[in-house]
């Protein structure tokens, strides 16, 4: 630059200066501090004059779809409308732009609930709508593929040896043999950070317990519901039932305090929903029946968790059970099922691209597929008068399972898990093409899986989702055509389906290569 020339501030510098001035003005007005660390900028936490511990669980909301050039000086005043902010955390890029999402912690749960009601789908700028939902600080891991003969104390002792911050271990007995566990457990940690460190250490495929390669993932947290909704619940969720326990037995047991108080009973495998005519009778039965032994099994009883039809627009999930869901969530004329994860930031192991708008989709009952299987090679005449014999998945031969969908059903059945549920979504592809993607939910393990690719054909989307679920249930399963590394077999008599057996069967599963995106 010549000596006589003068340096003029760039437009970017002017913009940065004005934004900095706006942030300083916000700090002066509120008295909150602001620091940037680990890719996020923290405003407050705690606010001026705060005494005592941070707000309890359920006080934080997640904010998505934030314009990348919007910052605290514009965002904080909007979220202050809902309540007193304890802390505002905006995720930042190295470039100085935000990453499109933030977390807002209020001093009370009421503030968080009000923020969801007021600001979800709020037009923050012309044509720009933000999404707001509850944020749960997950402290629990799902540990799968553990030997079924291990007790809670053994599992907790082993987990405390290899990870730090273990608070508790939750293990459920098998519905068939109460002396065995179900092949999985939930490990509770003292903090989200401790759980995240443990998950990082227990990388699937590289870590073993008792000679078994274990599966590790985040447990799906149960969503907190507002007090007003829970005050109307008159349905009890009962788990840890014997498979042989009947609906008639449950109706009789739960009617002992007051005859005729039970409206209806719906039992599925080892859990059930008990509907009462009024809430008071439901609460009395809850207090009386929780921990009681029915048919030799101590049961757990809690209030079921309904979800408003309007309160779960993003998930739009449906259950294949027609009225009940194994997570303690139920549906009646006023309520739909609860989703335990929000699709805004990804589900299961497959994240959803920021550029896609995911929505539930209803398709016609029949869609022709150019990739449909040629049935001529595998059909036989069904003669009138033929004797029909009911069969279960256990009676099938491996050669009769040629798809990932049936293989996943078989796998869940062999491990005493509920059958997988498939929840369908669509997203806009290139040139407006509709793409389809399934989320697979296995309620018995509180886990869900979503592939990172979508399909144009309904059947292919379901097959791909099942393949992805199988891969994530055992990351040692190789893709068809690749060498198969057989995992150590399960202990004899454990009843657990051998992953080596799964791997051999997976070699027959077709690869979707023509229609995935």
Tens-digit pLDDT profile for residues 348-396: 333 223 333 333 343 333 333 333 333 344 456 566 666 777 776 666 6
* 71 and 151 both lie in a single domain: no
> Is 82 domain-assigned?
yes
> Is 225 domain-assigned?
no
Q: What is the pLDDT of residue 98?
A: 93
The strand pair at 40-44 and 421-428 is best described as unpaired
* 332 and 347 both lie in a single domain: no
Tokens of 165: 């911050």
Neighbours of 234 (CB within 10 A): 19
DSSP, collapsed to helix, strand or coil, labels residue 396 as: coil
Number of domain units in the chain? 4
* 369 and 405 both lie in a single domain: yes
Question: Of 218, 253, 280, which marks where a domain is finished?
Answer: 218
* 371 and 489 both lie in a single domain: yes
* 332 and 353 both lie in a single domain: no
- Residues facing 425 on adjacent strands: 360, 437
Residues 6 or more apart whose Cβ sits within 8 Å of residue 155: 143, 146, 169, 171, 185, 187
> Is 14 domain-assigned?
no
CB-based contact 102:75 (threshold 8 Å): yes
> Is 511 domain-assigned?
no
**DSSP summary character for residue 389:** -
* 202 and 93 both lie in a single domain: no
Tokens of 116: 């969801």
Question: With DSSP H G I counted as helix, E B as strand and the rest as coil, what are the percentages for the chain, rounded to 5?
Answer: 25, 25, 45
Tokens of 178: 């109460």
Tokens of 158: 């082993």
Tokens of 289: 């029946």
Tokens of 466: 């099942």
For tokens 């039809």, what's the residue?
309
Q: What is the pLDDT of residue 273?
A: 93
Tokens of 440: 């697979």
* 362 and 302 both lie in a single domain: no
* 460 and 329 both lie in a single domain: no
152 lies in which domain range?
140-218
* 481 and 366 both lie in a single domain: yes
The CATH number given to whatever domain includes residue 427 is 3.30.160.20
Query: pTM of the entire structure?
Result: 0.46
Q: Which of 301, 303, 283 is nearest to 292 (CA)?
A: 301
Q: What is the pLDDT of residue 512?
A: 43
- Which residues of the chain have a pLDDT value below 70? 1-15, 204-206, 221-228, 307-386, 392-399, 401-402, 431-432, 474-517
Tokens of 159: 């987990």
* 370 and 495 both lie in a single domain: yes
Q: Which of 320, 344, 136, 311 is nearest to 230 (CA)?
A: 311
Q: What is the pLDDT of residue 452?
A: 83
Q: What is the pLDDT of residue 5?
A: 40
Residues 418, 352, 357, 115: what is their CA dihedral angle, to the nearest 10 degrees?
A: 80
> Is 223 domain-assigned?
no
**DSSP summary character for residue 431:** G
Helical (H) or strand (E) element with 75: helix 72-80
Question: Of 218, 251, 285, which marks where a domain is finished?
Answer: 218
Q: What is the pLDDT of residue 497?
A: 45
The CATH number given to whatever domain includes residue 326 is 3.30.70.330
For tokens 């290899």, what's the residue?
162
* 101 and 211 both lie in a single domain: no
> Is 256 domain-assigned?
yes
User: What are 402-445's pLDDT values in tens digits?
Assistant: 688 888 888 887 777 888 999 998 887 776 678 889 999 988 77
Q: What is the pLDDT of residue 209?
A: 82
> Is 351 domain-assigned?
yes
Question: Of 78, 110, 134, which marks where a domain is finished?
Answer: 134
Q: At what angle do helices 404-414 and 499-506 cross, to 10 degrees?
A: 170
* 159 and 112 both lie in a single domain: no
Helical (H) or strand (E) element with 421: strand 421-428
């Amino acid at each position: 630059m010549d000596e006589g020339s003068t340096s003029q501030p760039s437009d970017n510098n002017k913009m940065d200066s004005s934004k900095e001035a706006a942030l300083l003005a916000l700090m002066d007005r509120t008295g909150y501090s602001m620091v940037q660390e680990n890719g996020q900028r923290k405003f407050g936490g705690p606010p001026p004059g705060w005494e005592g511990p941070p707000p309890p669980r359920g006080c934080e909301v997640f904010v998505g779809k934030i314009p990348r050039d919007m910052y605290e000086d514009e965002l904080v005043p909007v979220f202050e409308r809902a309540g007193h902010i304890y802390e505002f955390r905006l995720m930042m890029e190295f470039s100085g732009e935000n990453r499109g999402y933030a977390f807002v912690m209020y001093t009370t749960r009421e503030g968080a609930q009000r923020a969801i009601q007021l600001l979800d789908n709020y037009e923050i700028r012309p044509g720009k709508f933000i999404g707001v939902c509850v944020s749960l600080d997950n402290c629990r891991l799902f540990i799968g593929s553990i030997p079924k003969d291990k007790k809670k104390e053994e599992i907790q002792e082993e987990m405390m040896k290899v990870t730090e911050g273990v608070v508790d271990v939750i293990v459920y007995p098998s519905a068939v043999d109460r002396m065995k566990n179900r092949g999985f457990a939930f490990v509770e940690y003292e903090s989200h950070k401790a759980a995240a460190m443990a998950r990082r250490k227990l990388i699937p495929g590289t870590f073993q317990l008792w000679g078994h390669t274990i599966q590790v993932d985040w447990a799906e947290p149960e969503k907190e519901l507002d007090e007003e909704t829970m005050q109307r619940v008159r349905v009890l969720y009962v788990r840890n039932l014997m498979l042989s326990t009947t609906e008639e037995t449950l109706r009789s047991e739960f009617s002992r305090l007051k005859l005729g108080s039970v409206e209806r009973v719906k039992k599925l495998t080892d859990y059930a929903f008990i509907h009462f005519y009024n809430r008071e009778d439901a609460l009395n039965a809850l207090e009386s029946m929780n921990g009681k032994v029915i048919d030799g099994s101590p049961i757990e009883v809690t209030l079921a968790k309904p979800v408003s039809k309007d309160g779960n627009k993003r998930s739009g999930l449906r259950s294949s059970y027609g009225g009940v869901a194994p997570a303690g969530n139920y549906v009646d004329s006023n309520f739909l099922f609860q989703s335990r994860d929000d699709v805004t930031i990804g589900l299961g192991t497959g994240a959803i691209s920021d550029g896609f708008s995911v929505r539930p989709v209803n398709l016609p009952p029949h869609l022709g597929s150019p990739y449909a299987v040629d049935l001529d090679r595998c059909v036989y005449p069904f003669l009138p008068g033929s004797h029909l014999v009911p069969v279960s998945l256990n009676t099938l031969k491996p050669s009769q399972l040629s798809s990932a969908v049936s293989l996943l059903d078989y796998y869940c059945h062999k491990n005493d898990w509920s059958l997988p549920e498939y929840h369908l979504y669509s997203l806009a592809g290139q040139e407006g093409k509709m793409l389809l993607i399934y989320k697979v939910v296995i309620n018995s393990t509180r886990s869900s899986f979503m592939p990172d690719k979508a399909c144009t054909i309904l059947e292919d989307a379901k097959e791909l989702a099942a393949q992805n679920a199988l891969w994530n249930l055992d990351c040692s399963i190789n893709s068809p055509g690749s060498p198969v590394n057989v995992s150590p077999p399960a202990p004899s008599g454990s009843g657990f389906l051998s992953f080596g057996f799964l791997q051999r069967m997976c070699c027959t599963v077709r690869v979707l290569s023509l229609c995935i995106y």
